[in-house]
A and B are shown apart, each in its own frame.
Chain A
Amino acid sequence: MFDQTPILVGLEVGTSKVCAVVGELHGDGQLTIIGLGQSPSRGVRKGEITDLEQARLDIQAALSEAEQMANVEIRSVFLGVSGAHIRGFNNRGVHPITSEDHEVTEQDVHDVIQNAQTINLPASHEVIHAIRQHFLVDGQDGILNPVGMLGGRLEVDVHIIHGHVHRLQNAVRAVRELHLEVEDVVFNGLASALAILDREQKELGALVVDMGGGTTDYVVYTGGILRHAGVLAVGGDHLTNDLASGLKVALSRAEQLKVDYGAALVDDRIRGQTLDLTNEFGATLRTVHLEHLRRIMHLRLEETFELVRQEIEEAGLYESLRAGVFLCGGCARIPLVSQLAEQVFGLPVFQGRTQAVNGLKTALDQPEFACAIGLLKYGAQRRRPALRSRGLMQNFTQTLRELFFRR
């Protein structure tokens, strides 16, 4: 807490892989990625840890690889979490301005955001993020920063992302057991959106769909602010499972078939084409139809996109997505998935590209790394205020405040 090193680490414990990205934060707020570590994940199902010991080993492997590459010692991480238990909703907090001159101070802003977080959650849930959307001063809407304004009543709209406390703590424990500090817990979908969207796209309205191995996280930005977030516990694992069940092959074979021959659409050219499944000596065991393989994948992906679309429509945000849909996560690699998403959403669909990050550019501009890079950007945003030069007294009060008000 007291030594704010310019090294940031984003750690994503995913269903298919554990990924750690090391970044260096420069004085001007620029971020350079200096290291990357990966490990296949074996202790996670549908975004949630099911085998703590295994997950710990995988995290250790990924972190040590990243340490070696970046040549730094990792002490703290920003941890990405996901899982079907994570939900998002909008809430409003109110705070009266009691000072004599009715000027809104930073303390008031802090208090009103605290008020907005006092909500009626189930006892087993805790708030992961309370993201401010708009302030209202005496009912005047659309205020982005009310500090210094005059008014009698300050309100704030926040988007609350909350999750099951024990399942969140499982991931945190796995990291703590490695004697590392978890600086903050971040929702994966939010991290991906931070990595992919630039300011203009956030203004116009964009949907980010991060379809990973075990979960599909989605986040909607419009007017520059986060409006909606959610998780579906469906991902690439489900594709593999569907294929294994439909083609009657083992899971490992299904995974291989998915990677080698999978696509999101069934085109006419592949009708009647077959694949020979061979054993290790090259003898043909059985034959599967390519069309069946594609159809099984098509149905699952189409359904998943339809469910996301339904959620967005129910939140009343579909009409405001003018920048389009951005796909990332491992499933964004599936051939023709953009075309399928265009059919389902009826909007332009793009492969998400990580913006405004320096270093290792080509190696990192992959849809799978969007989340981990987003974790770094989140971390950079969190730390930036601390890097501003402040007076000794201010620094001291800030430190005290952090001591008392941190979660």
Chain B
Amino acid sequence: MSTLSMEAPQSPGCSRPPGETPAHALRLFGVGTAGMRLLSHLAARQALPPTAWVVLPAWDPMPTLPEELRCLRLESAARLSWGAMGDPDSARAMAQENYDRLSEACTGAEWVWILAGLGGGSGSGMAPVLARAAREAGARVIAVALTPFQWEGTLRHHQAQTALEELRAVADGLVCLPNQKLHPLLPQPTPLLEAYQRVNELLGQGLEAFFDLMTHRGLVPLPLEKLCALLRGRHAESVLVTARAAGADRLAVASQALLQHPLLEEGQTLLAATSVVIHVTGGPDLAVGEVDGLVQLLGPRCGHAEVLVGAAVRPDWSGELRVLLVVTRRGERLVRNGQVHAGATAGPEVLREVARYRMQTIAEAPAGGDPLDQDCPGPSHAAGGTAVPNGNPRTYAAGRRRNPAVRLRQGMLPLNVLPRGRFEKTQPNIHRGEDLDIPTYIRRGIILD
């Protein structure tokens, strides 16, 4: 049993000689404005690992940051106009240009966490490049990505989806936090300015609990290796769900909040999960019945998922209870997408993407700094970090894929509406959390081709 140790402080300028870093070093990166806000929010709430970086493009005004955070400003040789703001392509090119600085910042870390708000320019463009740099520097990458609200428009939504696909192909684990899903948790007349703040707060709670889980040894500890194994996996996608309550009826309040949490989609998320981590944190008065009650409540709703339970006690949390669920899904469909990315039979969208990459890298970073292999420039390929035999990308993908067809469940996109056919207008036929009117083969994720 071990926990992730925090790294010793290090000044941003000095380059560290390799081999001196501790074994499980965790490094945090907040990319773009949203990433920065989230990181500052976290820094205000609790001690962060001393090596927390904010990555910002040069066109953003220099923010006032808490002193725990260091800023890595990316600069570009080509003069970029202010009009480049909000354009992921420019941001990507800029990150590409500063690739060496990014890799240097990642060197020596065992785990790199990237917090990024997708949809805008800097987050969507730079996060995948940073993830790739981190992978090449030998770190394992967990990307925590925020996707925009629906009312932010289709352009941002589309940019976010593209970036999400890129991140999914590159990162070891992806924790997706859709803002839109948190919308129902906001009170009705929330001003726009406050909405982001509230969402940051909600996400911050989840991330804080998650860091606690990774960095503190609990009373009922979860083996770190096991946790990492759950999050790892090329195409794993996780959501964090937290509930917090205090007082005598905290168990009831927390359970209610969990069950009604919009991220769980009325239990669908739990049913489709491959693994669920239930982590309970309480004060010294944390009762056995509370942990047991929660597991009894959630266990049967988890379908065939592997359920891990952990508990921690904080001396100053008397009368409080916090529950964190890390729900991970390794959809069959996601794995298939990955094969398409890595293999030679890329779909038209991927090809277009690759063509854009090439144009970017050739036009704006011509001087040999291009980390992409010119022969086979798939996003996942460059991120592999290991040498890939050029003519045989498929075996590479197959070797990477873990335990195929463990469970045949449909991986669902967040806003997909499943077809109910002739039962469209009838009352939903919910039985044990599943809508029986939806064809069984769709719910089980069987692909007919």
Residues in chain A within 8 A of chain B (CB atoms): 45-46, 50, 84, 232-234, 237-238, 240-242, 244-246, 251, 289, 292, 295-296, 299-300, 302-303, 307
Contacts and interface: CB of A to CB of B under 8 A. Distances in A.
Given A45-B423, A299-B444, A242 B439 contact: yes
B12 interface: no
Given A232-B431, A238-B437, A299-B441, A244 B421 contact: yes
A219 to B, nearest CB: 18
A242 B427 CA distance: 17
B431 A299 contact: no
Contact of B431 (A292, A295, A307): A307
Given A246-B441, A295-B448, A233 B436 contact: yes
Nearest to A241: B421
Contacts of B421: 241, 244-245, 251
Nearest to A299: B440
Nearest to A296: B441
Contacts of B420: 241
Contact count band on B: 10 to 19
Contacts of A50: 426
B437 to A, nearest CB: 7
Contacts of A289: 448
Contacts of A246: 439, 441, 448
A233 B422 contact: no
Interface in B320-341: none
A232 B446 contact: no
Nearest to A292: B448
Contacts of B429: 46, 84, 233-234
Contacts of B202: none
B365 interface: no
Pick the 10 closest A-B CB pairs, nearest first.
A242-B439, A241-B421, A299-B440, A300-B440, A292-B448, A303-B440, A233-B429, A299-B441, A245-B439, A234-B436
B442 A245 contact: yes
Contacts of A237: 422-423
A263 B367 CA distance: 64
Contacts of A251: 421-422
B284 interface: no
Nearest to A293: B448
Contacts of B426: 45-46, 50
Given A245-B419, A245-B442, A302-B440, 6 more contacts: A232-B436, A234-B429, A289-B448, A292-B448, A296-B440, A307-B431
B159 to A, nearest CB: 32
Nearest to B444: A299
Contacts of A300: 439-441
A234 B282 CA distance: 44
A307 B429 CA distance: 13
Nearest to A243: B439
Nearest to B448: A292
Contacts of B427: 84
A238 B427 CA distance: 14
B419 to A, nearest CB: 5
A295 B436 contact: no
A367 B140 CA distance: 61
B118 to A, nearest CB: 32
Main secondary structure of the interface of B (DSSP, over half): loop
Interface in B378-433: 419-423, 426-427, 429, 431-432
Chain A at the B interface: SS class: helix
B446 A241 contact: no
A300 B437 CA distance: 10
B423 A296 contact: no
B423 A295 contact: no
A241 B440 contact: no
Contacts of A303: 440
Nearest to A303: B440
A271 B403 CA distance: 26
A107 B423 CA distance: 48
Contacts of A244: 421-422
Contacts of A302: 440
B419 A295 contact: no
12 contacts: A238-B436, A238-B437, A241-B421, A241-B437, A242-B441, A245-B419, A246-B439, A246-B448, A289-B448, A296-B439, A299-B444, A299-B446
Contacts of A245: 419, 421, 439, 442
A302 B440 CA distance: 9
A46 B431 CA distance: 14
Contacts of B431: 232, 307
Contacts of B436: 232-234, 238
A85 B422 CA distance: 20
Contacts of B437: 238, 241
B191 to A, nearest CB: 41
A242 B435 CA distance: 13
B422 A241 contact: yes
A50 B422 CA distance: 13
Contacts of B441: 242, 246, 295-296, 299-300
* Most A Cβ at <10 Å: residue of B420, B423, B439: B439
A300 B446 CA distance: 12
A50 B440 CA distance: 24
A296 to B, nearest CB: 5
A141 B145 CA distance: 64
B47 to A, nearest CB: 48
Contacts of B422: 237, 240-241, 244, 251
A385 B419 CA distance: 52
A306 to B, nearest CB: 10
B439 to A, nearest CB: 4
B427 to A, nearest CB: 8
A234 B439 CA distance: 11
A151 B206 CA distance: 64
A291 to B, nearest CB: 9
A244 B432 CA distance: 25
Nearest to B421: A241
Nearest to A310: B432
Contacts of B432: 307
Contacts of A45: 423, 426
Nearest to B429: A233
Nearest to B443: A303
A92 B355 CA distance: 74
A232 B432 CA distance: 11
B445 to A, nearest CB: 11
B423 A241 contact: yes
A27 to B, nearest CB: 46
Nearest to A233: B429
A307 B432 CA distance: 9
Nearest to A234: B436
A241 B423 CA distance: 8
Q: Which of B419, B420, B422, B440 has the most CB of A within 10 A?
A: B440
A46 B419 contact: no
A158 B448 CA distance: 48
A238 B443 CA distance: 14
A347 B309 CA distance: 37
B303 to A, nearest CB: 13
Contacts of B423: 45-46, 237-238, 241
A292 B448 CA distance: 7
A83 B426 CA distance: 13
A14 to B, nearest CB: 16
A215 B153 CA distance: 43
B408 to A, nearest CB: 10
B286 to A, nearest CB: 31
A28 to B, nearest CB: 45
A84 to B, nearest CB: 7
A127 to B, nearest CB: 22
A295 B446 contact: yes
